Amino acid sequence: MTLSNTLQSALNDQIQKEYYSSYLYLAMSAYLESQNLPGAAKWTRIQSQEELGHALKLFDHVVDRGGRVTLAAIQQPPQAYGTALELFQQVLTHEEHVTASVHKLHAAALKEQDFPAQVMLQWFVTEQVEEEKNASQVVEQLKAVGRANPP
C-alpha cells in the first residue's frame, strides 16, 4: 500500500515540525549553557537528539512506503527564554502542540484507512504521553524549588 498524496504531505509537514523541535531544543540548550545551567542544558540537548530520531522515523516511513520526502525550511527558534521555569513551561507548551499535531496526523491515517501509518503513528501517540509527562515533571520540580527558596 503506497501513501496517499494527502498523507504524504501531512507526514512531510510532521517531519519539518520534528526538525524544528530538535532545533528549538538545541537553541534552548545553548541558552541554558549561557545561563550557567549545564544540567538543564544537557536535558534539552538530549531532547534535541530525540527529536532528530523522531524526524528520521517519519522520514524512513515515507521512504519505505514509496513516498517522497520533501524537506521544508526550518524556522529560526527564539534565542532567549527567561528563567529556567519559564523555559520549561515553553517546553511543555511546545510538546502539547506536537501532541495535537500527532493526533491530527493519526486521525488522517485512520480516515484514509492507512493501517501501516496508523501502527507507526501509534508509537508517536505513546511517545507524546511520555514527552508531556517529563516536561510537566520538570515544571513542577522547578515550581517546588521556587517555593522552597523564596526571593
Instruction: Name the phi and psi angles at 122, rounded to 5.
Output: -60, -35
- The CATH number given to whatever domain includes residue 90 is 1.20.1260.10
6: nearest Cα among 14, 54, 19, 98: 14
Residue 75's CB: how many other CB atoms inside 10 A?
10
How many domains does the chain fold into?
1
The domain of 19 spans 5-68+76-148
Residue 50 burial (CB < 10 Å; 0-12/13-18/19+)? Answer: middle
Rounded to an integer, what is the distance from CA 89 to the centroid of its chain? 14
Q: What is the pTM of this model?
A: 0.93
Segments of the chain scoring below 50 in pLDDT: none
Chain segment 27-60, per-residue pLDDT in tens: 999 999 999 999 999 999 999 999 999 999 999 9
